[in-house]
Amino acid sequence: MNIVLFGAPGAGKGTQSQLLVERLKMVQISTGDLFRAAIKGKTELGQKAQSYMDKGELVPDSIVIGMVDEVLTRLNGNSFILDGFPRTRAQAEALGKILSQRSLEIGKAVFLEVPREELLQRLTGRRVCKSCGAVYHVNSKPPKIAGVCDLCGGEVIQRNDDREEVIVTRLKTYEENTLPLRDYYKELNKYVEVNGAQETEKVFSDVRSALKL
Ligand code: AMP
């Protein structure tokens, strides 16, 4: 089953997607990761996306939709998780069209619910490995050696858009544009909600139950 995983920045979409990839062999399509890779590779797409990302704003729909459309042509039949897409109603509607052209569909849209206070704590303390993307937290999950990734030895840094002033904009952008997608997927009878403010493994088992996987 193909799924959409959505929720606020810091709700745990990336972490849960990773578990679905490792344990259920699904394919993760993270628009945030794709943009960060494009920025690292200094591509034209990366250049276009960076100014929006640095400010905590959404990259324009036409750019994101074009990118997802292209990625979906390269799928090899595995079930996929859309992580961080769609984030606006226009993106959700475009996704429906793109998928139906390919005789594909979304089975469920999983919303990870996390209270705002918890989101702020998670985002301000979040650190990531520059090389492999592994996620850490200054209090709850620091790397064994400060600044060094446990997994690959890469440099552990704070994402540009995890700075406090940018986080406020990201949360506002999320509330205005992405939160209304709950109603969109409810109308399509695809909406399921999971309490994301629990321990990672418990969230994962709730996600599996909600998807009957
Ligand atoms: P994320 O890693 O999912 O938190 O995304 C990081 C940033 O990438 C967001 O704050 C946006 O600037 C941009 N971005 C990622 N996905 C989308 C999307 N579906 N629509 C617009 N902008 C996006």
- What digits encode the pLDDT tens for the residues 3-49? 999 999 999 999 999 999 999 999 999 999 999 999 999 999 999 99
| Domains of the chain, earliest start first | 3-115+163-211 (3.40.50.300)
| DSSP H or E segment with residue 118 | helix 116-125
Residues 6 or more apart whose Cβ sits within 8 Å of residue 43: none
User: Mean pLDDT over all residues of the chain?
Assistant: 95
Number of H helices, E strands in the chain: 9, 8
Would the pLDDT of 76 be above 90? no
pLDDT band per the 50, 70, 90 thresholds, residue 78:
confident
Q: How confident is the model at residue 77 (pLDDT cuts 50, 70, 90)?
A: confident
Length of the chain in terms of residues written? 213
In the structure encoding, which two tokens stand for residue 116, read together? 């705002």
**Over pLDDT 90: what percentage of the chain?**
92
pLDDT in tens, 138-159: 999 999 999 999 999 999 999 9
Tokens of 157: 């840094």
> Which residue owns the Cα nearest ligand 1 atom 2?
32
Alpha carbon 4 to chain centroid distance?
9
Distances (CA, A) of 69 to 32, 54, 103: 15, 24, 14
The predicted structure's pLDDT at residue 65: 97
Q: Is-catalytic flag, 159?
A: yes
Ligand 1 binding site (Cβ under 6 Å of any ligand atom)? 9, 31-32, 35, 52-53, 56-59, 64, 84-85, 87, 91, 161, 170
163 in catalytic set: no
Q: Where are the alpha helices (DSSP H) in 138-199?
A: 164-173, 181-187
